[in-house]
Amino acid sequence: MSDQEFSRLVEEGAFLEWAEVFGHRYGTPWDPVATELERGRDVILEIDVQGAATVRERLPEAVLIFLVPPSEEELARRLRTRHTESEADTLRRLSAAREEMNQATRFDHTVVNDRVDQASDEVAAIIEAAS
């Protein structure tokens, strides 16, 4: 979508949340989320801390789960082994991650993503308990 179209949708309030991350804008359209909530269904979003703050404002009953890596070193290793970004971009992402981790207390739960199966079980248990 063009920048102009995205801006128009922001002005119209078409997004539940949106954020600019590393020069790119992302957002969650409000209508499909509202439809599912009206049907009594849970909605799971994968968003950053900016988006989570907006969701908290618009949906105070939302359950926010903060996923963290087991360590900064492990996060750096994971980013580098993907081979999808330059070293400069990796360093920028690591710096942003440090800042985001300082906001973990704004979330209802924190789950350490050390082992995928264990982390997903913890997330599922949080969702089940909240339903």
13 SS3 class: coil
Which pLDDT belongs to residue 75? Answer: 87
> Residue range 47-69: average pLDDT?
94
Give all strands (DSSP E) within the chain, no chain letters. Answer: 15-21, 24-29, 65-68, 109-112
Superfamily of domain 63-131: P-loop containing nucleotide triphosphate hydrolases (3.40.50.300)
Ramachandran angles phi, psi of 45, nearest 5°: -115, 140
Q: What digits encode the pLDDT tens for the residues 13-22? A: 999 999 887 7
Q: How many CB atoms lie under 10 A from the CB of residue 53?
A: 16
Q: Is the pLDDT of residue 110 over 90?
A: yes
Domain residue ranges of the chain, discontinuous segments joined by +: 63-131
Give 10's pLDDT tier (boundaries 50, 70, 90): very high
Mean pLDDT score of the chain, rounded to an integer? 92
Q: What is the pLDDT of residues 69-93, one digit of tens each?
A: 999 898 888 989 998 888 888 888 8
The dihedrals phi and psi of 25, each to the nearest 5 degrees, come to: -100, 135
Q: According to the model, what pLDDT value does residue 1 have?
A: 82
- Section 23-37 average pLDDT: 93
In the block, tokens 């750096």 appear at: 76
Alpha-carbon distance of 81 to 8, in angstroms, equals: 38
Asked whether the beta carbons of 52 and 107 are under 8 A apart, the reply is yes
